[in-house]
Every structure is written in structure tokens, then in C-alpha cells.
């Protein structure tokens, strides 16, 4: 069976290694020439009680040719236990008594292949997963069109490793490799490539290579030899990609590397002040490990200290960043205001999650937009930009640094759980080919006359840093005199300064790309999105044969924003919140009837729901 794209979902207990398995399969597929888009979906608890519904961890990947999203629903499911089967089958209704398979709720299609570990369906397993009967398939109402493939994963893994010397616990942990072997066979992945990849993965734990290779191979051979009663699936290779060198990368890692690239490009040291917070912490992990790149990381005592140490490093002349999520951005607000007032370069990364308050820490949402644009006391403009794929987190992290250093302003970079944890193909750049960064400096003739209020013709403050003789000055969070830089409460001066800071942020619009339109530009209908929804909206626009304007620059907006929007009759702003970008656009672009499509379920969009809604308008 040949397919353009296929969606595979691995699901099991939190301890079953589903994220690792899913990542390995995705990377392997990418190496073999597929485009990929992944969606890790795991609970907030580190280890919920084994075998329970709350402990189900999932990993979905779409692979093939023309991949824009991880897919709405899976073609192939690997369910490692009874709880996982239930959650996949019932979707958000998994907790509803008596719920049965329903095509709109289920995580897999009605003609999907569902591989289950039959050894994990004992009476005890069924009880833990709150089944009422001893026949889960009937109880869940799984339609006959779904092809159930029972595999005694646990037994065969034990058999495979009986001479390995591994203890029972370690043997059971290897079940995921048997499953991976079966899936590799199903998708006709050459086993030698998989083994090679596995060896690379376990390079630092050589003792684990042999047993894992054995289980993987046995899983593969099981599929091959017993000729499981299913057809193997071949997936089309990517065709439209630019020729080049690729890797697969998660958004948080791409973000971290974008910051490093910017620091190396402009010759400044990268400083990160941060505090652990889901889902942003991997950025700190990655940068803390990159001391070979000269990166300095301070794990601060709290979110406020995270941004404040960064502001200190910026004052002293570093490329300074802080990484956080929504609750942390709230805590940092006052300090971001200080950086606005002191006109210091600062990159603030907000990996958005479900809110408000602690909200849904491991789920995705776009609900911090207003907080990023307006969430500070006073007239407090900062630049706000957003990445739109896991891979382009690199590009926009780099861009955030460039804008901050060239315009002496805090830049808030928005990503989210979906981009942060998901992976996509990334064409490797070369440092020399990345855009130049012209760090704002100070003219030598100001030596002896410098103060922190002096700015250039673009309204950008000159930047002198400690250690420069003759440029000693006092910077402040208080209002300053526009000429002398000293504390000032003069009414006209305050208004002048408010406008100067606004003008500085506004002129960034002269330095960013114009908005472009994707899809059928001749259509009457324009979808609008921003940030992580680009893939889903692109796919929806294709299906609807309409146009899409997707925003990476939020504040300031691209200069041609109004011109483009006004060309369309029906304008639908689609976002994973209650309409924040739509509200912002209404305040900036008048005379347009902005319609909205919003989902706030902690999940990425489903393309089919967007299509259905837009058609109904």
C-alpha cells in the first residue's frame, strides 16, 4: 500500500518509553527521506500510577510528502496497554462512563491499524483502566473496519532477552523496542538503518546496544516471518524540499541554537538567566550543556531573578536572554518594563502553555499574546515575534536577538508546547550565510558627554557598557530627562519620552519582511493565523482553496498588513485562544469584519474542524 502521508501514534504508560520510541521512528523516517511533524502528548505527572488512564503518554507523527502537521487522526496506533487503547479510542471522552468509539472523538481513523500488546490486557490491567467487562474491544465499540493486530509483545520481549542477563525490570523496559521493530517492518524500513540509528542513540550506554538491537530485530523479524495479517505500507518521500543537508529538531533545541548562532555571529557572549518551568526548561538544559560554545547560564532563584540577572548581563554588554512560560512571563513583567525603560537589549522567550494560573502545564495554547504585547504597567512597548514551526524557532530566536541588539529593546519571542516539544525537518544553516547583526554602539565623539538618554536618528539609544572609559553614566527605571538622562518628572518630558520609546519600537517595522499570502491568493476568503498554527492553517487553506496570511511579527505588524487584509471579503482569524490576535487586529486595521475560529482545548488545531467551520461561515 502506497500513501502520500501516514499518521502513526505510539501510546502507552508514562514509563513505557513512548516518547523515545516515537522520536526514534520519526528520525528514522526523516533519514529515509520523509518529511515529518511530531506531537508528543504526555501527562503533567512524571509517573502516574502504572496502567491507569491518567498515566497514558502519547507520541504522534505524520510522515510522508507534503507534511504540514502531525495529523488530525492516526492511521496506525501502537497501544502498549489497555489504558492506552481506551484513551486513543475515546479521545477526550476517555473518562466518560459507557463512552464508545466515535469518529470525531477518537484519535484514530475508522480504517486504522491498531497494534496492541495482548499481554497487557489481563483482568488486573482492565480493572486499572476502569473497564466494566472483560472484552475491551466490544466494550469500546471499536468498529469492524478497524484492523486490530494482537501481538504478545511482553512475552516475546522476555523470550528475546532470556539469555541477555538483564533483570526483569530492564527486560520489560525493552518492550518498546519490540514494538518499534514491528512498526519498522510495517513501514518497510530497512532494518540495518534502524540498527545503525539505535547504535547512535545508545552510544553513551554501550551495554544497552546489544539487547536493544536484539529486541528490535526480533520485533522486525516477527512481522516479516509470521507475515502478520496486514499489508506493509510505503510512504512517499519528500519531493518539494530544497536540496540540502537536514536534521530533525525539536523547537526548544532550535530556539537555543538560534540564540547561540546570534551570539557567535555578533561576537557577544550569550547569557541566559532562567528558572525551570514546563514547557520551556529544555531551552535552559540545552544552553547549560553548551559551555563549549561559551554560553553562560544562571539557574536563578526565581523567575524574576532569571530576567533580572539577564538584565544585569545586558547592562554589562552581553547578549542576554531569559526563557519561560506564561506564569513566568507574568512574574517577569515588571523587569521587562525596566528593560523597556532602560532601553536595554533583552530576549524573552515565552513557550506558551495552557493557562491561566498553573493551567495545563504540558498542553499547548496561544493565550499569552495580549500579555506579551500589553502586559506591563505604563506605556511599555516591546517587540513581539512568534515562531511558526519547530525548525523555524531557530530563525526567529536569531531574529529576536538581532532586533534586540540593533534596536535596544526587549524582544518577546513566542513559541508554545506544540513547537517546543514537536520536531520537524531543519535544513542546516551556515553561520556565514545568516543575516548580519549590527549591534548598536556609541560614537566615540560622545566620550565625556555621554548619557543614557542619547539616541540616534532612528530613536535608538546609544549603548555604552561598563569598562568603557569616559562613558560612565547612570541608567534608571525612573523617567529620565530626554537630554541629560537624569531623573525627571517634567510633564512634557515624560510625554516626549513615552513617544520616543514607542517610535523606536514602531520603526522596527521598516526592518522586518512584508507579510506574504500563501495558497489561492485570488480567493475571496483569507485565513489569518500567527505562531504555531501555520502548518494546520496551510493544510486547511489548501483544502478550502483559499488564501492564508500567517504572522510571525506581532508587534510591530508588517507594514502591509492592512493592505493585504482589505483585499479579501471574508477574513477569518484562527487561533488557539479566545480571539486575542483578532482583537489586536481590530484595533490596528479598521473597516474589516474579522471573523474568528478559536479552539482552547490544550491541543493543536484539527485541520478538518477548521475547514468545516470556515465553510459554515
Partner 1 sequence: MEAAQFKSDQYVRFCPGCGDHAICAALQKAMAEIGVETYNTVVISGIGCSSRMPHYLNTYGFNTIHGRGGAIATGVKTSHPELTVWQMSGDGDCLAIGGNHFIHEIRRNVDLNICLFNNRIYGLTKGQYSPTSPKGFQSKSSPFGTVERPFIPAELVMGARGTFFARTLDVDMPNTVECLKQAQQHKGASVVECLVNCVIFNNGTHNWIADRETRAERTILLKHGEKMLFGANKDKGLALDYSKGVIPQLIVVAADDERVLTHDAHTEDPTLHRMLALMGQERFTDVNNADIEQTLPVALGVIRDVEAETYDQAVGQQIEKIRENSKVKTFDQLLGTLEQWEM
- Using CB under 8 A, pick the residue from 59, 121, 471, 597 that binds partner 1: 471
On the question of a cis peptide bond just before residue 279, with omega within 30 degrees of 0, the verdict is yes
The span of 59-67, 221-229, 428-436, 545-553 binding partner 1 (CB under 8 A) equals 428-436
| Cβ nearer to partner 1, comparing 161 with 311 | 311
- Using CB under 8 A, pick the residue from 315, 493, 592, 613 that binds partner 1: 315
Q: Report the largest interatomic distance among the alpha carbons of the chain, rounded to a whole angstrom.
A: 85
As beta bridge partners, residue 346 has 410
Question: Dihedrals φ, ψ of 432, to 5°?
Answer: -65, -25
Rule CB under 8 A: is residue 473 a binding residue for partner 1?
yes
* 477: DSSP letter: S
Give the C-alpha distances (Å, rounded to integers) separating 256 from 69, 311, 395, 409: 22, 18, 11, 20
| Cβ nearer to partner 1, comparing 84 with 382 | 382
Rule CB under 8 A: is residue 245 a binding residue for partner 1?
yes
The span of 135-143, 303-311, 564-572, 597-605 binding partner 1 (CB under 8 A) equals 303-311
- Using CB under 8 A, pick the residue from 438, 470, 563, 578 that binds partner 1: 470
- Using CB under 8 A, pick the residue from 476, 503, 589, 592 that binds partner 1: 476
On whether the CB atoms of residues 536 and 354 are closer than 8 A, the answer is no
| Cβ nearer to partner 1, comparing 186 with 256 | 256
Closest distance between partner 1 and the C-beta of residue 295, in Å? Answer: 8
- DSSP output for 302-348: SHHHHHHHHHHHHHTT-EEEEEE-HHHHHHHHHHHHHHHHHT--EEE
- Using CB under 8 A, pick the residue from 91, 141, 312, 579 that binds partner 1: 312
Q: How far apart are CA 374 and CA 412, in angstroms?
A: 11
- Using CB under 8 A, pick the residue from 78, 313, 380, 515 that binds partner 1: 313
Q: How far apart are CA 246 and CA 284, in angstroms?
A: 24
Torsion angle, alpha carbons of 563, 564, 566, 571, to 10: -150
- Using CB under 8 A, pick the residue from 122, 475, 520, 598 that binds partner 1: 475
β strands within 23-178, DSSP E: 35-41, 56-64, 74-79, 108-117, 147-151
Site for partner 1 in 485-514 (CB under 8 A): 486-487
Site for partner 1 in 165-224 (CB under 8 A): 197, 200
Sign of torsion over alpha carbons 611, 542, 549, 321: positive
Q: How far apart are CA 423 and CA 246, in angstroms?
A: 12
On whether the CB atoms of residues 336 and 313 are closer than 8 A, the answer is no
Closest distance between partner 1 and the C-beta of residue 19, in Å? Answer: 17
| Cβ nearer to partner 1, comparing 333 with 502 | 333
Q: How far apart are CA 244 and CA 242, in angstroms?
A: 6
Strand 383-386 versus strand 410-416 pairing type: parallel
The span of 96-104, 174-182, 236-244, 550-558 binding partner 1 (CB under 8 A) equals 236-244
Closest distance between partner 1 and the C-beta of residue 267, in Å? Answer: 12
Q: How far apart are CA 15 and CA 341, in angstroms?
A: 48
Site for partner 1 in 102-121 (CB under 8 A): none
Residue 207 in grid coordinates: 551495554
Site for partner 1 in 260-299 (CB under 8 A): 260-261, 264-265, 269, 271, 273, 290-296, 298
Site for partner 1 in 10-69 (CB under 8 A): 27, 30-31, 33
Give the C-alpha distances (Å, rounded to integers) separating 376 from 332, 405, 415, 570: 9, 21, 20, 34
As beta bridge partners, residue 61 has 8, 38
Closest distance between partner 1 and the C-beta of residue 339, in Å? Answer: 10
As beta bridge partners, residue 60 has 9, 39
- Using CB under 8 A, pick the residue from 467, 489, 492, 510 that binds partner 1: 467
Closest distance between partner 1 and the C-beta of residue 124, in Å? Answer: 40
Site for partner 1 in 119-138 (CB under 8 A): none
The span of 40-48, 423-431, 511-519, 600-608 binding partner 1 (CB under 8 A) equals 423-431
Q: How far apart are CA 384 and CA 338, in angstroms?
A: 16
Closest distance between partner 1 and the C-beta of residue 16, in Å? Answer: 24
Sign of torsion over alpha carbons 567, 569, 574, 577: positive
- Using CB under 8 A, pick the residue from 10, 59, 185, 246 that binds partner 1: 246
| Cβ nearer to partner 1, comparing 212 with 309 | 309
* Interior/surface letters 318-349, b for 16+ CB within 10 angstroms, e for the rest: bbbbbbbbbbbbbbbbebbbbbbbbbbbbbbb
| Cβ nearer to partner 1, comparing 241 with 617 | 241
- Using CB under 8 A, pick the residue from 335, 384, 454, 572 that binds partner 1: 335
- Using CB under 8 A, pick the residue from 77, 342, 414, 419 that binds partner 1: 342
| Cβ nearer to partner 1, comparing 264 with 595 | 264
How many residues bind partner 1 (CB under 8 A)? The answer is 73
Cell 496486514 found at: 230
| Cβ nearer to partner 1, comparing 315 with 594 | 315
- Using CB under 8 A, pick the residue from 114, 161, 305, 403 that binds partner 1: 305
Site for partner 1 in 516-575 (CB under 8 A): none
Closest distance between partner 1 and the C-beta of residue 348, in Å? Answer: 14
Rule CB under 8 A: is residue 346 a binding residue for partner 1?
no
Give the C-alpha distances (Å, rounded to integers) separating 289 from 255, 258, 295, 309, 397: 14, 15, 9, 19, 18
| Cβ nearer to partner 1, comparing 35 with 119 | 35
Q: How far apart are CA 70 and CA 189, in angstroms?
A: 20
Rule CB under 8 A: is residue 72 a binding residue for partner 1?
no
Q: How far apart are CA 185 and CA 224, in angstroms?
A: 7
On whether the CB atoms of residues 310 and 346 are closer than 8 A, the answer is yes
Closest distance between partner 1 and the C-beta of residue 427, in Å? Answer: 8
Rule CB under 8 A: is residue 247 a binding residue for partner 1?
yes
- Using CB under 8 A, pick the residue from 210, 227, 428, 617 that binds partner 1: 428
Rule CB under 8 A: is residue 236 a binding residue for partner 1?
no
Which conformational region is residue 412 in: left (phi greater than 0), alpha (psi within -120 to 50 degrees), or beta?
beta
| Cβ nearer to partner 1, comparing 290 with 586 | 290
Amino acid at each position: 500500500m502506497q500513501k502520500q502521508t501516514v499518521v502513526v501514534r505510539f501510546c502507552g504508560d508514562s514509563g513505557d518509553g513512548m516518547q523515545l520510541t516515537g522520536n526514534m521512528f520519526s528520525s528514522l523516517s526523516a533519514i529515509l527521506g520523509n518529511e515529518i511533524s511530531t506531537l508528543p502528548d504526555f501527562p503533567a505527572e512524571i509517573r502516574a500510577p502504572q496502567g491507569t488512564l491518567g498515566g497514558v503518554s502519547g507520541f504522534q507523527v505524520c510522515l510522508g510528502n507534503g507534511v504540514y502537521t502531525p495529523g488530525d487522526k492516526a492511521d496506525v496506533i501502537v497501544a502498549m496497554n489497555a489504558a492506552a487503547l481506551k484513551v486513543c479510542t475515546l479521545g477526550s471522552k476517555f473518562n466518560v462512563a459507557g463512552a464508545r468509539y466515535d469518529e470525531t472523538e477518537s484519535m484514530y481513523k475508522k480504517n486504522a491499524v491498531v497494534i496492541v500488546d495482548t499481554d497487557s490486557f489481563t483482568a488486573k490491567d482492565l480493572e486499572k483502566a476502569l473497564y466494566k467487562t472483560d472484552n475491551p474491544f466490544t466494550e469500546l465499540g471499536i468498529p469492524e473496519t478497524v484492523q486490530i493486530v494482537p501481538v504478545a509483545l511482553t512475552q516475546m520481549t522476555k523470550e528475546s532477552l532470556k539469555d541477555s542477563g538483564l533483570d526483569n525490570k530492564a527486560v520489560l523496559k525493552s518492550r518498546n523496542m519490540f514494538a518499534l521493530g514491528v512498526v519498522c517492518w510495517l513501514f518497510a524500513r530497512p532494518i540495518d538503518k534502524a540498527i545503525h540509528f539505535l547504535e547512535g542513540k545508545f552510544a553513551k550506554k554501550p551495554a544497552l546496544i546489544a539487547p536493544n538491537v536484539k529486541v528490535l530485530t526480533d520485533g522486525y523479524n516477527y512481522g516479516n516471518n509470521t507475515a502478520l495479517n496486514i499489508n506493509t505500507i510505503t510512504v512517499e518521500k519528500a519531493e518539494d524540499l530544497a536540496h540540502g543537508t537536514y536534521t530533525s529538531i525539536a523547537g526548544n533545541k532550535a530556539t537555543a541554537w538560534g540564540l547561540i548562532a546570534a551570539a557567535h555571529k555578533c561576537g557577544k557572549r550569550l547569557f541566559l538567566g532562567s528558572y525551570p518551568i514546563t514547557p520551556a526548561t529544555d531551552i535552559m538544559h540545552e544552553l547549560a550543556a553548551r559551555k563549549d560554545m561559551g554560553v553562560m547560564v544562571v539557574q536563578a532563584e526565581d523567575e524574576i531573578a532569571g530576567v533580572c540577572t539577564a538584565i544585569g548581563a545586558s547592562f554589562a554588554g552581553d547578549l542576554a536572554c531569559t526563557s519561560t512560560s506564561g506564569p513566568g512571563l507574568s512574574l517577569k513583567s515588571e523587569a521587562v518594563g525596566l528593560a523597556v525603560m532602560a532601553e536595554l537589549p533583552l530576549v524573552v522567550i515565552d513557550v506558551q502553555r495552557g493557562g491561566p494560573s498553573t493551567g495545563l502545564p504540558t498542553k499547548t495554547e496561544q493565550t499569552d499574546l495580549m500579555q506579551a504585547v500589553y502586559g506591563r504597567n505604563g506605556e511599555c512597548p516591546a517587540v513581539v515575534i512568534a515562531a511558526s514551526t519547530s525548525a523555524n524557532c531557530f530563525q526567529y530566536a536569531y531574529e529576536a536577538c538581532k532586533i534586540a541588539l540593533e534596536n535596544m529593546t526587549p524582544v518577546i519571542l513566542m513559541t508554545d508546547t506544540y513547537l517546543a516539544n514537536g520536531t520537524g525537518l531543519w535544513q542546516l544553516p551556515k553561520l556565514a550565510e545568516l543575516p548580519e547583526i549590527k549591534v548598536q554602539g556609541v560614537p566615540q565623539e560622545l566620550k565625556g558627554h555621554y548619557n543614557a538618554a542619547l539616541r540616534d536618528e532612528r530613536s535608538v539609544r546609544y549603548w555604552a557598557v561598563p569598562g568603557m572609559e569616559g562613558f560612565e553614566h547612570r541608567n534608571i527605571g525612573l523617567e529620565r530627562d530626554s537630554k541629560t538622562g537624569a531623573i525627571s518628572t517634567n510633564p512634557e518630558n515624560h510625554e516626549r519620552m513615552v513617544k520616543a520609546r514607542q517610535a523606536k519600537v514602531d520603526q522596527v517595522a521598516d526592518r522586518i519582511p512584508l507579510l506574504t499570502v500563501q495558497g489561492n491568493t485570488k480567493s475571496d476568503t483569507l485565513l489569518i493565523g500567527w505562531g504555531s498554527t501555520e502548518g494546520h492553517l496551510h493544510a486547511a487553506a489548501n483544502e478550502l482553496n483559499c488564501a492564508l496570511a500567517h504572522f510571525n511579527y506581532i508587534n510591530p505588524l508588517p507594514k502591509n498588513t492592512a493592505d493585504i487584509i482589505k483585499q479579501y471579503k471574508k477574513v477569518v482569524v484562527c487561533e488557539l485562544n479566545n480571539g486575542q490576535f483578532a482583537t489586536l487586529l481590530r484595533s490596528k486595521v479598521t473597516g474589516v469584519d474579522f471573523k474568528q475560529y478559536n479552539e482552547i482545548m490544550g491541543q493543536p488545531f484539527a485541520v478538518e474542524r477548521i475547514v468545516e467551520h470556515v465553510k459554515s461561515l
